């Protein structure tokens, strides 16, 4: 079986010792092995700092933008191959695979455009100049310059392509080299991406490296000018934040973690209306797309009590039509979850949530279409319902990272909806679906302090919008509290994490020469 090498210090190198076997989650067929035993992670970080950093910083934003475009073009040229790999290695339907792979290409293109727009400069002005005295020569100006270290990216298993690209696009445009570590279980796609990019010679030496297998001591070698961007569970995020080297060197850490995203249906929306159907469609998409393994998926569905029965029936009706099975088959709408441990986690999570209410759809047990008997990490979609006013502590605290959502009836009052949503203690994105602008505004302002993004669902945007579960590069991604407290993307805002903000204070003409 093939062992997937890492790409470190400008060369491919296989790990030794214990290797993890990567399998097809639908068939459990072994696909490859990966491990990072014996690889010199310290040298890899130093190579990125000393070779990759200077090369990138010598370029203007427009030139770095052109690199991102070349990366996107290279991936586009291999899109079908990446989609196939995503289906076999990640349990993704072709639609799920597109979500990841096309999301990667789209994000690279979006940041390529931003680079082009910034033009032939290497320093960014941060806001306007500030007069500091009556004498107009004494002047202040904030600027952003690239950090001189390495950006270490640690990604979750659910988006091996997008996760790599969305972080790398921002870091590379800012002028920082990247060492990226995908989650091992689904790393085949990330590995192939690095192969494609190195074959295409899309990037200067040291700009992008790949560590396959466990992080090991990778983060023990971070220094004061490095940054760490992590996506994954809260527990791993907390352990990274508390590493002595990270604390001692004041290393910037961005954490993207769990989230109990909620969607609120407004009391003005009646069954059968356009907004109702739009709401049902978005809930259904988030439950089943990537088998619910999206950090932004709707987990809590808030519905006015007087129409909870109808919404439950509508959802159950649609969920009954979902074919679960081997995603290589066109007829399959939902594939397996990514790993055996993920399946175990989903099962124990469902059992916990069900104690807060009752199961109204899906037992978890499924006859998966097109999978060998007894094989694959399959579950049904699962819908749970709690009683109006029930405290349901687990529903508001346990993220079940699978095709699982809970119906939470509420009175129809905006304040109650906002209070219930905020019990998630910080989230990536929550939504309100209503045509009543006053209700929408009350909910939005009630939940905004607890989220990185709020989605305003309305029939008026239904055609144009991909729904709350899609992260767009122009808008910030991240959230406070349990979501990790991080912030990524957001167009140019994302660059600030990888750059040092410096206040210049001095003679205006000299400052204006530096910041043109
Ligand atoms: P995880 O177990 O925390 O793993 C995430 C990444 O961290 C993997 O690459 C993993 O590598 C690595 N890792 C594990 N232990 C580490 C350590 N001690 N030091 C450094 N790296 C370490 O999370 P997961 O199960 O892959 O992801 C699922 C979670 O991610 C869910 O809770 C989901 O909500 C969250 N998520 C959040 C976002 C977001 O944008 N906010 C996006 C996607 C997922 P190995 O695979 O090699 O163990």
pLDDT of residue 398: 96
Q: What is the pLDDT of residues 422-464, one digit of tens each?
A: 999 999 999 999 999 999 999 999 999 999 999 999 999 999 9
Q: Separation of 238 CA from ligand 1 center, angstroms?
A: 11
Q: Which protein residues are within 6 Å of ligand 1, measured from CB?
A: 154-158, 181, 183-185, 214-215, 219, 231-233, 236, 239-240, 256-258, 295, 399, 401, 428, 484
User: DSSP labels for 60-124?
Assistant: -HHHHHHHHHHHHHHHHHTHHHHHHHHHHHH---HHHHHHHHHHHHHHHHHHHHHHHHH-S-SSE
Percent of the chain whose predicted confidence (pLDDT) is above 70: 100
List 499's β-bridge partners, or say none.
146
Q: How far apart are CA 90 and CA 389, in angstroms?
A: 39
pLDDT of residue 379: 97
Question: For residue 486, which atom of ligand 1 is closest to its CA?
Answer: 41
CB 425 within 8 A of CB 356: no
Is residue 516's pLDDT more than 80? no
Question: For residue 159, which atom of ligand 1 is closest to its CA?
Answer: 43
Q: What is the pLDDT of residues 373-402, one digit of tens each?
A: 999 999 999 999 999 999 999 999 999 999
Q: Separation of 236 CA from ligand 1 center, angstroms?
A: 7
Q: Separation of 188 CA from ligand 1 center, angstroms?
A: 16
Q: Separation of 157 CA from ligand 1 center, angstroms?
A: 7
Q: Separation of 136 CA from ligand 1 center, angstroms?
A: 52
Q: How confident is the model at residue 363 (pLDDT cuts 50, 70, 90)?
A: confident
Question: For residue 185, which atom of ligand 1 is closest to its CA?
Answer: 46
Q: Considering the entire predicted model, what is its pTM?
A: 0.95
Going 430 to 435 to 441 to 443, the CA torsion angle's sign is negative
Is residue 269's pLDDT more than 80? yes
pLDDT of residue 451: 98
Q: How far apart are CA 471 and CA 166, in angstroms?
A: 10
CB 311 within 8 A of CB 301: yes
Q: What is the pLDDT of residues 67-101, one digit of tens each?
A: 999 999 999 999 999 999 999 999 999 999 999 99
Q: What residues have CB less than 8 Å from 21, skipping those under 6 apart?
A: 1, 30, 31, 32, 33
Q: What is the pLDDT of residues 155-173, one digit of tens each?
A: 999 999 999 999 999 999 9
Average pLDDT on 274-279 reads 96
Percent of the chain whose predicted confidence (pLDDT) is above 90: 97
* Residue 295 appears among annotated catalytic residues: yes
Q: What residues have CB less than 8 Å from 408, skipping those under 6 apart?
A: 262, 300, 301, 302, 303, 386, 392, 395, 420
3-class SS at 319?
helix
Q: How confident is the model at residue 365 (pLDDT cuts 50, 70, 90)?
A: confident
* Residue 256 appears among annotated catalytic residues: yes
Q: How confident is the model at residue 468 (pLDDT cuts 50, 70, 90)?
A: very high
Q: Which of 9, 14, 295, 488 is catalytic?
A: 295
Q: How far apart are CA 247 and CA 252, in angstroms?
A: 9
Average pLDDT on 263-283 reads 97
Q: How far apart are CA 392 and CA 133, in angstroms?
A: 59
Is residue 310's pLDDT more than 80? yes
pLDDT of residue 402: 97
pLDDT of residue 315: 98
pLDDT of residue 511: 96
CB 282 within 8 A of CB 84: no
CB 499 within 8 A of CB 227: no
Q: How far apart are CA 31 and CA 27, in angstroms?
A: 11
User: Which amino acid residue places its CA nearest to atom 14 of ligand 1?
Assistant: 236
- In the DSSP assignment, the letter for residue 405 is E
Is residue 282's pLDDT more than 80? yes
Q: Output the average pLDDT for the chain.
A: 96
């Amino acid at each position: 079986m093939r062992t997937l090498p890492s790409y470190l210090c400008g060369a491919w190198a296989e790990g030794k010792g214990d290797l993890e076997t990567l399998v097809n989650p639908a068939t459990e067929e072994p696909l490859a092995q990966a491990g990072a035993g014996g690889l010199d992670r310290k040298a890899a970080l130093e190579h990125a700092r000393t070779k990759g950093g200077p090369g990138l910083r010598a370029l203007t934003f427009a030139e770095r933008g052109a690199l991102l475009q070349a990366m996107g073009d290279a991936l586009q040229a291999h899109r079908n191959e990446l989609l196939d790999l995503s289906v076999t290695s990640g349990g993704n339907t072709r639609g799920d695979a597109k979500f990841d792979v096309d999301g990667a290409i789209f994000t690279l293109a979006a940041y390529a455009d931003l680079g082009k727009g910034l033009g032939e400069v290497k320093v960014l002005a941060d806001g306007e100049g500030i007069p500091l005295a009556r004498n107009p020569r004494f002047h202040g100006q904030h600027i952003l310059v690239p950090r001189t270290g390495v950006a270490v990216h640690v990604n979750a298993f659910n988006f091996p392509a997008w996760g790599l690209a969305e972080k790398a696009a921002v870091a590379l445009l800012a002028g920082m080299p990247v060492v990226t570590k995908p989650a091992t279980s689904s790393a085949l796609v990330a590995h192939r991406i690095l192969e494609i990019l190195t074959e295409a010679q899309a990037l200067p030496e040291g700009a992008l490296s790949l560590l396959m297998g466990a992080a090991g001591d990778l983060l023990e070698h971070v220094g004061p000018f490095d940054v760490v961007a992590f996506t994954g569970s809260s527990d791993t995020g907390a352990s990274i934040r508390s590493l002595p080297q990270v604390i001692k060197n004041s290393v910037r850490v961005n954490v993207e973690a769990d989230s109990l995203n909620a969607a609120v249906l407004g009391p003005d929306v009646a069954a059968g209306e356009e907004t109702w159907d739009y709401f049902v469609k978005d809930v259904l998409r988030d439950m089943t797309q990537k088998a619910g393994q999206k950090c932004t998926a709707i987990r809590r569905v808030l519905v006015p009590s007087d129409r909870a029965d109808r919404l439950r029936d509508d959802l159950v009706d649609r969920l009954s039509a979902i074919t679960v099975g081997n995603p290589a088959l066109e007829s399959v709408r939902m594939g397996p979850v990514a790993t055996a441990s993920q399946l175990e986690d989903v099962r124990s999570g469902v059992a916990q949530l069900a104690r807060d209410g009752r199961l109204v759809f899906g037992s978890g047990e499924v006859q998966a279409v097109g999978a060998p008997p007894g094989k694959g990490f399959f579950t049904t979609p699962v819908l749970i319902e709690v009683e109006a006013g029930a405290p349901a502590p687990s529903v508001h605290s346990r993220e079940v990272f699978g095709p699982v959502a809970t119906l939470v009836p509420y009175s129809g009052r905006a304040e109650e909806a906002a209070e219930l949503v905020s019990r998630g203690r910080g989230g990536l994105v929550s939504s309100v679906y209503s045509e009543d602008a006053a209700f929408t505004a009350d909910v939005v302002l009630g939940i905004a302090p607890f989220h990185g993004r709020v989605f305003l669902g309305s029939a008026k945007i239904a055609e144009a919008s991909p729904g709350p579960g899609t992260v767009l590069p122009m808008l910030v991604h991240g959230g406070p509290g349990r979501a990790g407290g991080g912030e990524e993307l957001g167009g140019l805002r994302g660059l600030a994490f990888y750059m040092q903000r410096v206040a210049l204070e001095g003679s205006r003409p000299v400052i204006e020469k530096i910041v043109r």
